[in-house]
């Protein structure tokens, strides 16, 4: 997402959201680090390509309402208030360039050595900080509800993460 106006890259929105808290393990120094993530409840909206318009060679997008919860990955745009909340929850959360993806995004960093902790490892690898594989490991992830609207720009989107709904019910 490259644009002179970062708000032009908003592709998800919700009337509320959760800040997820978990401990991730740094690939570099193996230290445990407090990590944060954005989670959206069912009924959030995402911007989707209108395939019918695309067939007519015009590009159109529509807001679609989701029936599931989701984690946002590779977040490229955050409103200032949301960013401040996430950084207050984890000192290692900041915007950075990833050698692996060759893109910049809001990412967790190891508080011991400063290494970037890739979203893929935290969200997509089994037993990553935000991909628990058992109810016991899911219990280590906590959700803080924020009853305010969110608009963000994210490249990745993890639909129906296992155990998220049970975490939110706590």
pTM, to two decimals: 0.86
Instruction: Output the DSSP codes for the chain.
Output: ---SSGGGG--EEES-EEEEEEEEE-TTT--EEEEEEEEE-TT-EEEEE-HHHHHTT---EEEEE-SS-EEEEEEEE--HHHHHHHHHH-TTEEEEEETTTTEEEEEEE-TTT--EE-HHHHHTSTTSTT--SSHHHHTT-EEEEE-S-EEEEEEEEEES-TTHHHHHH-
Q: Which residues make Cβ contacts (< 8 Å) with residue 138, sequence separation at least 6?
A: 132, 162, 163, 166, 167
pLDDT at 1: 44
Mean pLDDT, the chain, integer: 88
Q: State mean pLDDT over 58-66.
A: 83
**Contact status, residue 119 vs residue 95, Cβ threshold 8 Å:** no
Q: State mean pLDDT over 23-41.
A: 95
Q: How far is CA 101 from the centre of its chain?
A: 16
What are the domain boundaries of the chain? 11-169
Compare 169 and 60 and report the one with higher pLDDT.
60
Split at pLDDT 50, 70, 90, the class of 35 is very high
CA atoms within 13 A on the CB side of 94: 10
Evaluate if residue 2 carries a pLDDT over 50: no
């Amino acid at each position: 997402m490259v644009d002179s106006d970062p708000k032009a890259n908003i592709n998800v929105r919700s009337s509320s959201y959760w800040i997820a808290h978990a401990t991730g393990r740094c690939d570099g120094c193996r230290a445990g680090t407090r990590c944060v993530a954005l989670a959206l409840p069912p009924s959030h909206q995402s911007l989707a390509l209108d395939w019918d318009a695309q067939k007519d060679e015009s590009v159109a997008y529509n807001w679609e309402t989701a029936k599931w919860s989701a984690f946002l990955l590779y977040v490229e745009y955050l409103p200032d208030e949301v960013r401040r909340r996430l950084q207050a929850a984890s000192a290692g959360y900041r915007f950075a360039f990833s050698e692996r993806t060759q893109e910049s995004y809001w990412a967790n960093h190891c508080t011991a050595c400063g290494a970037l902790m890739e979203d893929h490892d935290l969200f997509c690898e089994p037993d990553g900080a935000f991909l628990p594989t058992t109810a016991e490991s899911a219990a280590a992830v906590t959700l803080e509800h924020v009853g305010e609207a969110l608009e963000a720009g994210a490249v990745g989107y993890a639909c129906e993460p296992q155990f998220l709904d049970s975490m939110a019910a706590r």
